[in-house]
Amino acid sequence: MLAADCVCPAQTANTVIWSPPTVGWWDDMPRPTVAKEMIATLSVASAPIVLEQTNLKDAQERFGGTFGSSGNAGDALRWLCLYGSDKGGAWILWLTSGEIDGPAIGGFQWRSLSTNDRPDHRCSRLPKNMGGIKLPIQLHLGMTEAEVQKLLGPPTVARDKTLFYCHEHRLVIRNEDFTVSNGVAIVLRKGVVWAIEVARTTGN
């Protein structure tokens, strides 16, 4: 076949990333199996963020970017989209707030960016010298599945190449009983951590 006759694939177009993809939590998750709370805080560009306490608006004032939103009522979600890179490669981070969280950040999703992924212009770029993303445990993008299980133990459940870790504990606030739930979902791609999603909720 002559070179001129070759049918070559079109160059892959850039994919614009804006809203946080769905990781795959479902309503009838198994009972929590993780004894200790895993992630209730994180550091973004050297700034501490406490889930259920730090306001999403305060994060926007510090990092810039435009709020995104989707859904309504119980499915409503707001987010702030940030992106940057470190020695492991390019990444994107969504700080999220659902209806139950009020104005506070209730969770986040931290995901690797592939070569053809391009953050939307409404996302804010964090320079490398600002400190990147740090979690309170040694969990990060690019880890192997074996390293994750050495750190966190066996998952509560594994489904569709995603490891789900679930924790609950009781808390008394002003003589009222509350339940604190902390969920961590770890999405694997080619045997390594490609995305980490965390949520924390307190209810009675």
Residue-level pLDDT at 106: 98
Per-residue tokens: 64: 């810039």
Express each pLDDT in 127-183 by its tens digit. Answer: 888 889 999 999 999 999 999 999 999 999 999 999 999 999 998 988 889 999 999
Residue 125 lies in a domain: yes
Asked whether residue 77 is domain-assigned, the answer is yes
The span from the CA of 95 to the CA of 106, in Å, is 8
Position 16 in a domain: no
pLDDT band at 204 (very low <50, low <70, confident <90, very high): confident
pLDDT of residue 131: 85
Residue tagged 């309503």 (tokens)? 27
**Residue 156 belongs to domain spanning:** 32-203
Number of structural domains (the chain) is: 1
Q: Which residue has the higher pLDDT, 71 or 60?
A: 60
Residue 181 DSSP SS3: strand
Name the residue with higher pLDDT: 84 or 173. Answer: 84
Q: Calculate the alpha carbon distances from 21 to 6, 187, 195 in Å.
A: 36, 11, 10
